[in-house]
Amino acid sequence: MSLEDHKKAMDTYIDFCKLGGSKSFLDLIESASLDNPFEEATIKAAVETIKSQVDMIDDKKF
C-alpha cells in the first residue's frame, strides 16, 4: 500500500497506532483493514514486493 499511496499508508498507520492497547493485535489489524501478517498469502505478497524493490537496486554502485 505505501508504495502506491503514501498519504493513505500514513493515515492507516496513524489510525492503527491510535487504537493500540484497545484491542488484540489481530483485531487491530482487522480494524485498520490490513492483511493478517501470519497468513501465507500475506507473507508471499510481502516477499514479492521486497524482491521487486531489491531487483531495482543498481548494485553496480556498490
- Residue among 28, 27, 46 at smallest CA distance from 13: 28
Query: According to the model, what pLDDT value does residue 33 have?
Result: 85
Task: Tell whether pTM > 0.75.
Answer: no
Query: According to the model, what pLDDT value does residue 1 have?
Result: 57
Residue pLDDT tens, the chain, 62 long: 577 889 998 998 898 899 989 999 999 999 888 899 999 999 999 999 999 999 999 888 77
- Residue among 44, 19, 14 at smallest CA distance from 36: 44
Residues 32 and 15: beta-carbon distance below 8 Å: yes
